[in-house]
Amino acid sequence: NYNEWKQTSNPAKRERVAGYKDVDINFRSQNWGGLEYNGNRALFDGSVNTGRWYYAIGSKGAWRGAIPGPDGNAEDVVELYMMMEDKKAEKASAGAVGACPGVTLGDRFIQLGNWRLGDIDGNHFSIASSSHKKTAVIYRKDGTAHGGPRNDYQAFNRKSKTNQIVFGDRFIQIGQWRFGDADGAHFSIAHTGGKTAMIWRSDGTDHKGPRTDYNTLSRKPGPPTGVTFGDRFVQIGQWRIGEHDPAHLSIQHQSGKTAVIFRQDGTIHNGRGRRTDYGTWQRSLAACAVQGMSQTTSQTQPQVQPQVQPQPQPQPQTTSQEQPPTTSQEQAGGKKLQMGRVRVKNSV
């Protein structure tokens, strides 16, 4: 017994059910209407807009000794199968519906509005404001970070001819440097030599290198999966890096926590777990082509070096939250549900 349906909303993103359409429905009682986020007694439920939790997925407790299923029954096992729609995300990254406003790829750099992020010489990566020509931060191959204000290590003299820009599963590699969503809860920049220079966490905190963990260096280059663009921002997995306004560039998690803000005067303002401003999540993704993207796939992709495992070094202060939760919510975040099927297995 099962329900099979389509919906365009993603319950993991705590959206209201939208775009619901029957495919093969066997149960309709208890206000069935697709899957919505619960977060209290279960991860998801299908009793839409009622406060009840029938059709529960990821139940956190027992109801009548089991799981609240369809038609008011208690079930021993409930399974969820999802077909995820990735084509729209790919079109937003590499489609042909106009140019993405305020986003340009070039020779070992990406420009987001007024801000240029670039691999300077293979050993240094910088984030700088093009209007004030101020460098806010330099990340070095050895895994260290050097904050501004500075006037050096900038990539403004390069043209918008794409070279050494590589994509993959929730990462962008610019020259020898990778920005990537490690696991939904952690976003990092790392050198292909193996050193992680900075980790930003979903609680809005930052954790400096040198480190060798929470990077995306083990993933192979390929189609831009989970990498999408919009007005002056790029979304990588559950993270967005983008220009809030010409004076500010931010890195923010989809939960709303701002991990860091770079200012055009070359200063850095860390979120410290307390900021939710200067983000870009209020903007929509765009089905667009990034300037220079078409050349990207034809370029020879730089070989990613195996991750180096140096001798253990003192780690920056962390808390027990550093280990990310392994919930299905995090695994499903950032993608759009196309079709779902709930199958109920009755005990014998």
Cβ–Cβ contacts within 10 Å for residue 300, how many? 8
pLDDT in tens, 293-303: 433 332 323 33
User: Hunting for tokens 């931060």 — which residue is that?
Assistant: 137
Helix, strand, or coil (residue 253): strand
pLDDT of residue 124: 98
pLDDT of residue 270: 97
pLDDT of residue 85: 53
What number of H helices and E strands is found in the chain? 3, 28
pLDDT of residue 323: 33
Q: What is the rounded distance in angstroms from the CA atom of residue 174 to the CA atom of residue 166?
A: 7
Could you tell me the sign of the dihedral formed by the alpha carbons of 244, 248, 254, 258, in that order? negative
pLDDT beneath 70: ranges in the chain: 83-99, 161-162, 287-348
pLDDT of residue 255: 95
User: Hunting for tokens 């970070």 — which residue is that?
Assistant: 145
Residue 224, both tokens: 């831009």
Quick one: residue 170, left, alpha or beta (phi over 0 = left, psi -120 to 50 = alpha)? left
For residue 290, which of 158, 94, 86 has the smallest C-alpha distance?
A: 94
pTM over 0.75: no
Say if CB 123 and CB 255 are below 8 A apart.
no
User: Hunting for tokens 């390069």 — which residue is that?
Assistant: 158
For residue 127, which of 248, 14, 13, 295 has the smallest C-alpha distance?
A: 248
Cβ–Cβ contacts within 10 Å for residue 244, how many? 21
Q: Which residues partner with 346 through β-bridges?
A: none
